[in-house]
Amino acid sequence: MNSPGIHIFPLEDIPEVTPGDDLAGLILEAARGALEPNDVLVVTHKVVSKAEGRLVDLREVEPSALAVRYAEQYEKDPRHVEVVLRQSQRIVRMDRGLIIAQTLHGFTCANAGVDASNVPGEEVVCLLPEDPDRSAREIREDLRSSLGFDVAVVISDSFGRPWRSGIVNIAIGAAGIEPLVDYRGKLDASGRELKATVIAVADELASAAELVTGKTDARPVVVIRGYCYEASDRGARALVMEPERDLFR
Amino acid sequence: MNSPGIHIFPLEDIPEVTPGDDLAGLILEAARGALEPNDVLVVTHKVVSKAEGRLVDLREVEPSALAVRYAEQYEKDPRHVEVVLRQSQRIVRMDRGLIIAQTLHGFTCANAGVDASNVPGEEVVCLLPEDPDRSAREIREDLRSSLGFDVAVVISDSFGRPWRSGIVNIAIGAAGIEPLVDYRGKLDASGRELKATVIAVADELASAAELVTGKTDARPVVVIRGYCYEASDRGARALVMEPERDLFR
């Protein structure tokens, strides 16, 4: 029982974020001096996207014929479908009203990350940040400038996955933290060499943060304290598996 | 900053577990009175499997012709391949020395969960528990008998997944906790109804626990305190997606 472990807590009272807002400033205000060196801040992508103005007014979207046909079949909004198609580089599956797509960044998820929940206005949808790793780096830099010490930033979204029910939070952006911890070549407790053990810790941190986020509350920023991570600026892009190496696909 | 959040810490000094060991007893001894009502205990499946004697001595395994051919091609141990095949109800992929299989329980993972790491002896491999939900229920009952209060138990393993690099810990067994939290029909912070938002919290708890487990240390049991969960005995079996509903597959 001599390990201090890790502590995970949300920042309360982050106001509704609107395009152009200084997100790092809002985080610092909500934190009220409570941040510490090497804290990991997990930020729900929704507030990042909003601050960056990644909102699309559906009234300005002209749906393609494909979007119109698909929307008619499943009683969807054709303009919403159109936005999903525009955010996709590859359609994995298009069935029963759902679109599983590989986003322009390379992530594979439902509706290419285009989402209408927690967005103000009936006619507005929210995109993923254009470059979530860049977003994470910017937030981290801004925080460091004010704080005078380093924190890590993970930007999260909730993704479905094959074979398992339910969604989990994963990392779509990261800065200041190595997203993968490689145990290959290390020895297990029995002295045997560990094989094929590369752990996606950035995803695990995002999942851990979700446990205190809540979906219906406005708690978009979570602090994880006491987790020893390796500094790195590879970003969450390193978590996208190259198709030719992906045996699970 | 007024939310207490959650605290995650490992139990230290759990000894090497051998078949027939009283795992709940070892957990209680390591916890030294520190467990509290409604703690979630995340237990690495390896110690559960060992306590249950789910170890296979490869010297007693007669490999099939398929196992021999596949092992030759990729310089594997044909007896290990044979054990993987016997633990599988369906082979998803068999390539480059790896076998992605659906286990007898329904989980889809590498090598059907058969693993040689952290197992004593060169000729021994470890299987998943026969029924991880039953294992979780038994550990939970034993703990409750001694403690006089309820805790939840999650049994974890590390799984790869399509499209993303690295493995993450997920739940293969659960007792006393609802593994999925269903937000459908609830309202988001903007007052809009949330759709398709069912969160696999048991998987997120398993991932969170991994952050303090370490792969090379002997820390197979982690306590998560302060997480508000719903009591349920559906078990982690509820996390297996029925194939006909699985749009990601």
A63 & A116 share domain? yes
Residue B67 reports pLDDT greater than 90: yes
B248/A93 CB distance under 8 A: yes
Residue B95 reports pLDDT greater than 80: yes
Does B249 fall in a domain? no
In tens, the pLDDT along A175-227 reads 999 999 988 777 766 666 666 689 999 999 999 999 998 766 679 999 999 99
| Band of pLDDT at residue B120, cut at 50, 70 and 90 | confident
In tens, the pLDDT along A159-174 reads 999 899 999 999 999 9
Does B248 fall in a domain? no
Considering only CB atoms, A247 lies closest to which of B93, B208, B241, namely B93
Q: Which residues of A touch B80 (CB under 8 A)?
A: none
A135 & A224 share domain? yes
Q: Which residues of A touch B158 (CB under 8 A)?
A: 197, 199
- The residues pairing with B115 across neighbouring beta strands, listed in sequence order, are B126
- What pLDDT, on a 0 to 100 scale, did the predictor assign at position A185? 73
| Band of pLDDT at residue A244, cut at 50, 70 and 90 | confident
Tokens matching residue A34: 């409570």
The CATH number of the domain holding residue A84 is 3.90.1660.10
Does A249 fall in a domain? no
Residue A2 reports pLDDT greater than 50: no
Which of A89, A110, A125 corresponds to the end of one domain?
A: A125
For residues B236, B238, B240, B245, the Cα torsion angle rounded to the nearest 10 degrees is -170
Whole-model pTM: value is 0.94
Residue A106 reports pLDDT greater than 80: yes
Which chain B residue has its CA at the smallest distance from A198's CA?
Answer: B166
ipTM of the complex, rounded to two decimals: 0.94
B204 & B234 share domain? yes
Which of A67, A95, A125 corresponds to the end of one domain?
A: A125
Q: What is the DSSP string of A3-16?
A: ---EEEEEPP-PPP
Does B3 fall in a domain? no
| Number of domains composing chain A | 2
Q: Which residues of A touch B5 (CB under 8 A)?
A: 7-10, 212
Distances (CA, A) of A234 to A115, A138, B198: 27, 14, 31
CB A8 within 8 A of CB A207: no
Q: Under DSSP, is residue B11 helix (H, G, I), strand (E, B) or coil?
A: coil
Pairing of strands B108-110, A40-44: unpaired
Mean pLDDT of A126-142: 98
Residues 6+ apart with CB under 8 A from A232: A176, A177, A178, A179
A137 & A236 share domain? yes
B199/A31 CB distance under 8 A: no
A17 & A121 share domain? no
The CATH number of the domain holding residue A28 is 3.30.1330.100
B186/A215 CB distance under 8 A: yes
- Percentage of residues in chain A with pLDDT exceeding 70? 93
CB B100 within 8 A of CB B93: yes
B41 & B149 share domain? yes
- What pLDDT, on a 0 to 100 scale, did the predictor assign at position A13? 87
- What pLDDT, on a 0 to 100 scale, did the predictor assign at position A89? 95
A215 & A157 share domain? yes
B207/A212 CB distance under 8 A: no
- What pLDDT, on a 0 to 100 scale, did the predictor assign at position B8? 98
In tens, the pLDDT along B192-206 reads 666 668 999 999 999
CB A124 within 8 A of CB A149: no
* CA pair distance A7, B19, nearest whole angstrom: 34
- Which structural domain range is residue A62 located in? 55-125
What's chain B's average pLDDT?
92
B232 & B136 share domain? yes
Which of A99, A125, A151 corresponds to the end of one domain?
A: A125
A137 & A110 share domain? no
A169 & A226 share domain? yes
In tens, the pLDDT along B126-154 reads 999 999 999 999 999 999 999 999 999 99
Does B27 fall in a domain? yes
Does B1 fall in a domain? no
| Strand stretches in chain A, DSSP E | 6-10, 40-44, 55-57, 88-95, 98-103, 108-110, 124-126, 152-161, 164-175, 181-182, 198-199, 221-225
A231 & A203 share domain? yes
Which chain A residue has its CA at the smallest distance from B217's CA?
Answer: A189
Does B73 fall in a domain? yes
CA distance B110 to chain A (A): 9
Does A247 fall in a domain? no
Residue A32 reports pLDDT greater than 60: yes
B71 & B185 share domain? no
